[in-house]
């Protein structure tokens, strides 16, 4: 990282050492302001702006840590403290107050450049993370509850209140189960809970269980030891350990195999895990959120989900109703999404005309909010039809033969006649599978459910070499 042109405040009371520092720092291209006391440093900070500050801890008129405690240094200034041997406690206190790094005297002057570069990168990364989190919170703050979701919001507020009580008492946070059809916003709601809970500053780990192959799901979630299986050339922590102190969100949890469900149940109950191929119990402190697009009670009755696991997950349950049940709120929700899209694309704010509102009301929205957002984006950006949602009109006009060609040459068309020279059933199956996946927004489990087959059938058909 190039330090040339950066301003640095040097606070060092030893004259000879101060001159040595100045010569070396100026060779690095830094513009150095050298001072010998705390009072001089405060005056310099009033008049000048610095990218870095190199501060000796103990000074004739006090300790430089007071600059950190008083927040006399601007937020963009990267402070590094220097302390003599035996002053490690002061360095630790400086780090707690916001110092980016510390050096123990005497040290090699060549250490300064990499320390400054590393400290600046860390500050930039942290600032980027802060901006990302703030942006996510702002977007989630716009989650449209409305009157139809007033009960959901009330339930979420009760969960957050319980979370605060448990966190204050030092108790683990209870799991939350979020139910809703595909596209209703389960993931967004899970993030909403995490960002407002006592673990907002902790890790957020999001896992789509349907995307985990059965053979790898256990290793991904719980980790593995070296040699646990053929490709395990080194030990690896799982996502439970990665989420330590934060939240682990398991989307489409019914997709997990019975064996993984057993291990998940023990993790929730005992708050420990065991890596694949290992015997050591690893304590975990993780808040678990789970989501499902099917009724888990039906899955239990069908033998696809463990009843004891459902009981452990079902302490706090939130159900997001499908879009078709939200009635008059549909137009208001659509306008919220349009406003968000206009901000994203830098467009002037637009309203949905009466023609578009009528088409919104007559569509069934099997893909729920996700489908609604896609249709609005297509109308706003690609069709450029002033939000009349003409794409919905074309789909409605297609009837049962939507997607068919005018001449009836597409077998999706009810008027199709099989050719005398023969028909490729394999290609037809592939097309059915691909269409189901597209209509399920890439969700393999949902596509399999719509087709009435297992996920393995869908996965097999999606591989190019099997087409």
pLDDT one-digit tens code per residue, 165-195: 999 898 999 999 999 999 999 999 999 999 8
**Whether 186 and 243 share a structural domain:** yes
- Which H or E run contains 235? none
Distance in angstroms (rounded) separating the CA atoms of residues 127 and 100 = 13
The answer to whether position 412 is within a domain reads no
For residues 168 and 69, state if they share a domain: no
Same domain, 179 and 313: yes
**Domain shared by 117 and 146, yes or no:** no
Same domain membership, residue 307 and residue 164: yes
- The verdict on residue 416 lying in a domain is no
Per the structure, the complete domain to which residue 155 belongs is given by 142-321
* pLDDT (0 to 100) of residue 405: 38
Q: How far apart are CA 340 and CA 131, in angstroms?
A: 18
CATH number at residue 453: 1.10.10
Q: Are residues 107 and 237 in the same domain?
A: no
End-to-end Cα, the chain, rounded Å:
50
Q: What's the pLDDT tens digit per position in 405-447?
A: 333 455 555 556 677 777 778 778 888 888 888 888 788 888 8
User: Which pLDDT score, from 0 to 100, does residue 398 have?
Assistant: 42
Task: From 73, 93, 125, give the residue that closes a domain.
Answer: 125
Per-residue pLDDT, 133: 59
In sequence order, what are the residues at sequence separation of 6 or more whose Cβ sits closer than 8 angstroms to the Cβ of residue 25? 8, 10, 32, 54, 112
Task: Give 446's contacts (C-beta < 8 A, 6+ positions apart).
Answer: 182, 293, 440
* Predicted local distance difference test score (pLDDT) of residue 271: 93
What Rg value do the Cα atoms of the chain yield, rounded?
A: 30
- Identify the domain boundary among 291, 321, 351: 321
Same domain for 23 and 164? no
**Is 148 part of a structural domain of the chain?**
yes
The last residue of a domain, from among 75, 100, 125 = 125
* Structural domains in the chain (count): 4
Both 214 and 256 in a single domain?
yes
Coil vs helix vs strand at 26: helix
CATH label of the domain that carries residue 360: 1.10.8
Distance CA 276, CA 262 (A): 14
Enumerate residues 6+ apart whose C-beta is below 8 A from 32. Answer: 8, 10, 21, 22, 25, 26
Structure confidence at residue 421 (pLDDT): 72
Q: Are residues 214 and 262 in the same domain?
A: yes
pLDDT at residue 273, rounded to an integer = 92
Q: What per-residue confidence (pLDDT) applies to 401?
A: 35
Looking at the fold, whether 98 and 241 belong to one and the same domain comes out as no
Residue 217 within any structural domain of the chain: yes
Closest Cα partner for 209 from 245, 166, 164, 255?
255
Name the nearest CA neighbour of 140 among 156, 128, 122, 120: 156
How far is it, in rounded angstroms, from Cα 57 to Cα 41?
Answer: 13
- Domain membership flag for residue 14: yes
DSSP string, 287-308: EEEEEESS-HHHHHHTTSS-HH
Count CB neighbours of 45 within 10 A.
Answer: 19
Quick one: 203 and 278 in the same domain?
Answer: yes
Residue 442 inside a domain? The answer is: yes
Kindly state the DSSP code that residue 9 receives in the 8-state scheme: E
CA–CA dist 467, 459 (Å, integer)? 11
Residues 295 and 166 reside in one and the same domain: yes
The CA-atom distances, in angstroms, between 371 and each of 77, 108, 185, 366, 438 are: 46, 61, 11, 8, 11
Residues in the chain with pLDDT values less than 70:
1-2, 85-91, 126-142, 383-385, 393-417, 463-467
Give a yes or no: residue 407 inside a domain.
Answer: no
Residue pair 460/466 in contact (Cβ under 8 Å)? The answer is: yes
What CATH number corresponds to the domain at position 55? 3.40.50.2300
Q: Is residue 415 part of a domain?
A: no
List the structure tokens of 113. 């450049």
CA dist 434 and 360 (Å) reads 26
């Amino acid at each position: 990282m190039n330090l040339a042109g950066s301003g640095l405040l040097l606070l060092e009371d030893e004259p000879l050492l101060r001159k040595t520092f100045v010569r070396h720092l100026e060779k690095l291209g830094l513009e150095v302001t050298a001072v010998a006391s705390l009072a001089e440093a405060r005056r310099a900070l009033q008049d000048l702006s610095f990218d870095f500050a190199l501060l000796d801890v103990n000074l004739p008129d006090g300790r430089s840590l007071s600059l950190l405690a008083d927040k006399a240094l601007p937020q963009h200034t990267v402070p590094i403290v220097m302390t003599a041997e035996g002053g490690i406690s002061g360095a630790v206190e400086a780090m707690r107050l916001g110092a980016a790094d510390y050096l123990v005297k005497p040290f090699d002057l060549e250490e300064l450049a990499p320390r400054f570069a590393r400290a600046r990168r860390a500050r930039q990364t942290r600032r980027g993370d802060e901006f990302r989190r703030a942006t996510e919170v702002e977007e989630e703050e716009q989650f449209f509850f409305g009157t139809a979701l007033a009960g959901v919001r009330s339930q979420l507020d009760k969960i957050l209140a319980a979370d605060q009580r448990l966190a204050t008492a030092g108790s683990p946070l209870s799991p939350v189960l979020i139910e809703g059809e595909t596209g209703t916003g389960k993931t967004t709601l899970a993030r909403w809970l995490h960002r407002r809970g006592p673990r907002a500053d902790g890790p957020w780990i999001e896992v789509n269980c349907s995307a985990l192959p059965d053979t790898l799901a256990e290793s991904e979630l719980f980790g593995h030891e070296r040699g646990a299986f053929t490709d395990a050339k080194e030990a690896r922590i799982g996502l439970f350990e990665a989420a330590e102190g934060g939240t682990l969100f398991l989307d489409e949890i019914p997709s997990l195999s019975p064996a993984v469900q057993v291990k998940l149940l023990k993790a929730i109950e005992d708050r420990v895990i065991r890596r694949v191929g290992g015997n050591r119990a690893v304590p975990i402190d993780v808040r678990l959120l789970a989501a499902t697009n099917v009724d888990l009670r039906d899955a239990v009755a069908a033998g696809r989900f463990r009843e004891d696991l459902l009981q452990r997950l079902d302490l706090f349950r939130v159900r997001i109703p499908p879009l078709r049940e939200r009635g008059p709120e549909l137009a208001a929700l659509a306008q919220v999404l349009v406003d968000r899209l206009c901000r994203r694309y830098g467009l002037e704010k637009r309203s949905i005309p009466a023609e578009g509102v009528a088409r919104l009301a007559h569509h069934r929205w099997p893909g729920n909010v996700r489908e609604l957002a896609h249709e609005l984006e297509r109308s706003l950006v690609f069709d450029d039809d002033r939000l009349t949602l003409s794409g919905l009109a074309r789909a409605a006009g297609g009837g049962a033969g939507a997607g068919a060609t005018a001449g009836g040459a597409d077998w999706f068309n009810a008027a199709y006649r099989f050719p005398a020279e023969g028909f490729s059933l394999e290609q037809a199956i592939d097309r059915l599978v691909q269409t189901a996946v597209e209509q399920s927004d890439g969700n393999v489990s949902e596509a399999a459910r719509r087709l009435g087959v297992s996920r393995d059938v869908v996965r097999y058909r999606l591989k190019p070499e099997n087409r």
